[in-house]
Structure 1
Amino acid sequence: MHTSDLRRRVLLLRRWSRLAAQLRGWVRGSEVAVVVLAVLVGGTVGLLAWGMGALAHGLQRLLYDLEPHLRLSAATRLPAWQLLLIPALGGLALAMLNRAIARWRPKAPIDPIEANAMHGGRLSLTDGVVVGAQTVLSNGVGASVGLEAGYTQVGGGIASRLGQAFSLRRGDLRILVGAGTAAAIGAAFDAPLTGAFYAFELVIGTYSIAALFPVVAAAVTAVLVARSLQAGTYIVESAAPSVVDLGTYPLALLIGALCGLAGIAMMRGVGLTEALLVRSIPSATLRLMLGGLAVGGLALISPVALSAGHGALHLAFMTEAPAWPVLALLLVKAASSILSLGSGFRGGLFFASLLIGALGGKLFAGVLALWLPPGPDPLLMAIIGMSAFGTAVIGAPLAMTFLALETTGSLAVAGPVLAAVAVSGLIVRRLFGYSFATWRFHLRGETIRSAHDIGWINDLTVGSVMRREVPTAAATLDLAAFRQRFPLGAATRVVLLDEAGRYAGLVSVPEAHAAPLEGGSLSGLMHLDDRVLLPSMNARVAMAAFEAAEAEAMAVVDGPGRKPIGLVTEAHLLRRYGEEMEKRRREESGIASA
């Protein structure tokens, strides 16, 4: 290669590097640019949601020999051998896939909620591919799980990858991840408002004007792309009355309370089932196969046990049935969902919770019809139950309200639905404290209860705020020598060391100069000999330690060796904590990016 060609290529690379840096700078400093990125994310996620839904339905058609437009949960004439064998073999296939993934990527995937809460929106796109493949396979073989977990994982992963490529600020990256999940749910249910408020309530953790535009742009774009492709993944269609009687509101409140309690029972049931199966069946492969066999056995009672339940939900809205058959369907679907998730199949509980809630609403109407005929409108009760139970499990009351509104197109329904979801959400919050996603985190040992950004608290550690240059002295030093070595004004506090150089306590220099010389010892002036901080402690833990010790300053040691490495004052820690809090507040309000 000639020198002139090499020089030309170097100049071209430098020019492209400058252009890329200018583009990143514009994106980081422009609210409009974040909206543009959200539109790109929405279009991509809408396309992938269509592809994943088509792949899962195609797998069901291939394995169960379904007609093109027939949903698995509504297929009533399947042979018994298919119902028993395919989910069990599907469990075996998923176990083999999991083993291959574990060799390639042993680290557990990070959920978008966890990413926004703990990691500032940093999410791996590879995790999206992993969860997407596991979810499509689980749903395709008939396990009672939904695809929405795969959709949101892929949507969040694409958004995070794109945001990191443009070096977005922490707050903007969290918003873009929320926009990716909004696009996923919007495309899945053909419901942009549902997707947007799912993101606000579950993934971003708060509503702000700064987040509104990118989240809505992504959700609307994804829905338009999915509609143009005629995806129809989880579209819920239902008619509803245009006028609702005032007597419906007390019934809605009662349904909300019952759904809240039932949602808690179901979430605990998943955790207990998983723990029981892990203890009794050590082999993950055997657990998946037996779980698939159990789901197939329930499908012999009714195909409602299979897959997410789209076809069954459509039938639940369109057909009338007595109370006892509805109760049987409800129990079958709840049991199949618990067994699927507890045995290790991958997927979401979003759509299954809608079906269970709708069946619960119809059961409520049927029981009232037996007691006080003719009873309330079963369809209206089904819509209220769907939203209330979805709120109990998913934890997004406004998203469920908008789902009912977008499903029915009736503003009259919104009032009783809002009342029901408020009661359901309040009961779950007060008696349980978790949604299904955060309950799964709790079972893994995480402390996440929402997507509120708490990762910065873990980043603000004692080691990052401590003063490293700390005066030290031997604990055996007499008082006169101490005063001579540390005159007033030279230091405020001195760390005392024992013979082995380990932390022995703190001494206040002004207090040492005010003490009488008669004793001549520092032992009576030592404080906090049994109270220390570790550099890995976060700000919240450190503030609790200050409060417990009733101290203004504490020494930082390196661990079991108790070698002092720094000093932290409560005032400095509180100031740094306040600065970070203000920074997060500015990011959420959009001031930081203005």
Structure 2
Amino acid sequence: MTRRMPAPLRTLLRQATAFRRRLRRSEATFIILAVVVGSVTGGLSVALGTAAHALQALLFGLPGEMRLSAMPHLPWSRLLALPAGGAVLGLLQYALERWRRRTPVDVVEANALHGGAVPWRDSLSVTAQTFASNGFGASVGLEAAYAQVGGGLASVIGRRLSIRRSDLRILVGAGAGAAIGAAFGAPLTGAFYAFEIVIGAYTPAAIAPVAAAAIAGVATARSLGGVPYLITVSSVGVTRNMDYLAFVGIGLACAFVGIALMRSVSLVEAGVRRIGLPAAARPFLGGLLLMPIAFLSPEALSAGHGALHLTLAGDAPILILCGVLALKWLASSVSLGFGFRGGLFFASLFLGVLVGRIYAGATEILLPGAPHLWTQDAALVGMAALAVAVIGGPMTMTFLVLEATRDFQLAAIVLTASLVASAVVRELFGYSFSTWRLHLRGEVIRSARDIGWVRQLTARSMMRAAPVTAPAAITIAALRRRVPLGSTGRIILLDAEDRYAGIVATTDAFADGVDCDAAAATLARRPDETIDPARNITEVMQVFDRLGVDDLAVVAADGALLGTLTEAHVRKRYANELERSQRELFGEA
């Protein structure tokens, strides 16, 4: 006898079902869900940042609230935490690889290829590795962990509620944006991080939930006493048109520096792989290499929050700035190349400040009689432009500077320089750091814009059953008797082992002057003109364009016939899916 479900549980299930329905019909309900996700994410960001700083304070003896990169000097005994952290991270990576034998999915990849689905194990893996890397002092930031925590939490909640694919992608972006906004104390920065980096587009349907989540995340972080990464700074402002050209030069310089930085990280990583060192041992060796760098300049450690504040407020000579730039660059390349987990978000901000100040100092040296850039404005422009070159998101970085300075005139210059840097990097390189690393793994994405539906539409999923089949050895006369004219447009031929042997157009079999005693195979199209069942819809259309035919057989690796595809059907399906994605973009689906 089947036991009845308890009444409270039945009530809870009915309420959950009703809530799912409201989510699909009501934009206001979805915004409320985004606010809840943003609030929780803001609290998690504060907890993660506080825990990482506490670990650094314990290992490196930091006084009070001082940041690791702001320390004037670190003794060798404290620097032993770097290889020790590498050993811990190596063991953690080894354990995670045995637990989860594939590369974890981050939020950008999830939104681009998987419709916003981020497995909770992947979020846990990325967050744990990033926390260990940053907490033990490696030259990486926590921003990857923040975005993964926010986006991963949103993905888990959204999939539990069975929300639509387009809504799940928006919710993942809202969670990641709320986390970044909470870390920087900047809701506009967080919102545009979601739009440009995680969702990949400014969509009308995403504006309200993403903005609400970012505001909720920042409000929660402030109520919990979270200290934002960027302090409020002042700017002099631009008074001459020539200043715009000078600041555009910073954008150009940052574009080339950003490309070189991304290349250097991948070259170090490739070199480490060629050595043949086990993956679990690489962070330990990387930690050893970081020790002399950190002894020369503690500014090279961690994300660089303290060093960025000191550089903005200080007035160091240009040679010192160049030295710090080189050491931070080297430390970031070693950290990421040797297996420490994290990103270049804040490192690119710090390096951009250095590039901007060096650019201003070089201008003063090379043009001694001309009016000069004010170094702090140049530093802020460089900060945004290099971050755009590496991470992407010109509006994200422009709002970051705007929320730090409250200077709209400077924000316009920052946007100009950022767009220049973005255009040059797209033209010469084509990738941001996150998509570049995915490219090195064999992926083809260049942004978080949803192309997952393209991959899901494979030849196998679109094919139809073969209309009529016949033996390849059959005579044309027998084929005419077997398949009357007008009954079908094509006939699939199979050899003696039932493998695909070509397609015969019915009209060709009934054409005048055909030798009726010849085998039907003499009329068949070449049997190598087939489609692999795993090819996606864009690849299928490329094959049709290349061969110039109207229909193709879908054939397995062993030659077995699986089905057929017509060009008209494939192109109609592509147009329908493209129209559906456009409706989702504008919130009409």
Match of 1:77 among 70, 73, 77: 73
Matches within 5 A, 1:292-331: 292-331=287-326
User: What secondary structure, in the 3-state scheme, does the structure 2 residue paired with 1:106 have?
Assistant: coil
**Displacement of 1:246:** 2.1
Write the distance in 1 (CA, Å) between the matches of 2:516 and 2:246. Answer: 79
**Displacement of 1:136:** 1.4
Q: TM-score, normalised by structure 2?
A: 0.97
Task: Report which stretch shifted further, 27-36 or 338-347.
Answer: 27-36
Match of 1:199 among 178, 181, 194: 194
Q: Which residue of 2 aligns with 1:571?
A: 568
Match of 1:268 among 254, 263, 272: 263
Letter paired with 2:496:
E
Query: Are the equivalent residues in 2 in contact too, given 1:480–1:517 (CA < 8 A)?
Result: no
Matches within 5 A, 1:325-474: 325-373=320-368, 375-474=372-471
Task: Report which stretch shifted further, 125-134 or 491-500.
Answer: 125-134
Letter paired with 1:224:
A
Write the distance in 2 (CA, Å) between the matches of 1:272 and 1:518. Answer: 64
**Displacement of 1:12:** 4.6
**Displacement of 1:452:** 1.2
Query: Are the equivalent residues in 1 in contact too, given 2:74–2:294 (CA < 8 A)?
Result: no
Matches within 5 A, 1:70-109: 70-83=66-79, 85-109=80-104
Match of 1:501 among 478, 495, 498: 498
Write the distance in 2 (CA, Å) between the matches of 1:526 and 1:147. Answer: 61
Write the distance in 2 (CA, Å) between the matches of 1:69 and 1:76. Answer: 15
Task: Report which stretch shifted further, 285-294 or 410-419.
Answer: 285-294
RMSD: 1.6
Query: Are the equivalent residues in 2 in contact too, given 1:186–1:223 (CA < 8 A)?
Result: yes
Query: Are the equivalent residues in 2 in contact too, given 1:155–1:177 (CA < 8 A)?
Result: yes
Matched, 1:24 2:40: no
Q: Which runs of 5+ in 2 are unaligned?
A: none
> Could you report, residue by residue, the CA deviation over 1:337-357 in whole angstroms, capped at 9, with x for unpaired residues?
111100111111100000000
Query: Are the equivalent residues in 2 in contact too, given 1:193–1:399 (CA < 8 A)?
Result: yes
Matched, 1:42 2:38: yes
Matched, 1:581 2:578: yes
User: In structure 2, do the counterparts of structure 1 residues 504 and 288 end up closer, same or farther at CA, with 3 Å as the change threshold?
Assistant: same
Write the distance in 1 (CA, Å) between the matches of 2:258 and 2:237. Answer: 29
Q: Which residue of 1 aligns with 2:538?
A: 540
User: What secondary structure, in the 3-state scheme, does the structure 2 residue paired with 1:247 have?
Assistant: helix
Q: Which runs of 5+ in 1 are unaligned?
A: none
Letter paired with 2:510:
H
Write the distance in 1 (CA, Å) between the matches of 2:69 and 2:289. Answer: 16
Q: Which residue of 2 aligns with 1:171?
A: 166
User: What secondary structure, in the 3-state scheme, does the structure 2 residue paired with 1:514 have?
Assistant: coil
Paired residues in the alignment total 586
Write the distance in 1 (CA, Å) between the matches of 2:533 and 2:159. Answer: 29
Q: Which residue of 2 aligns with 1:551?
A: 549
Letter paired with 2:390:
V
Q: Which residue of 2 aligns with 1:129?
A: 124
Q: Percent identity?
A: 47
Q: Which residue of 2 aligns with 1:250?
A: 245
Q: Which residue of 2 aligns with 1:487?
A: 484
Write the distance in 1 (CA, Å) between the matches of 2:152 and 2:87. Answer: 27
Write the distance in 2 (CA, Å) between the matches of 1:15 and 1:239. Answer: 57
**Displacement of 1:86:** 1.3
Write the distance in 2 (CA, Å) between the matches of 1:323 and 1:515. Answer: 86
**Displacement of 1:291:** 1.1
Q: TM-score, normalised by structure 1?
A: 0.96
> Could you report, residue by residue, the CA deviation over 1:231-269 in whole angstroms, capped at 9, with x for unpaired residues?
114234321124543221111111111110110000000
Matched, 1:478 2:509: no
Write the distance in 2 (CA, Å) between the matches of 1:285 and 1:510. Answer: 64
Query: Are the equivalent residues in 2 in contact too, given 1:473–1:497 (CA < 8 A)?
Result: yes
**Displacement of 1:77:** 3.2
Write the distance in 2 (CA, Å) between the matches of 1:99 and 1:244. Answer: 57
Matched, 1:282 2:277: yes
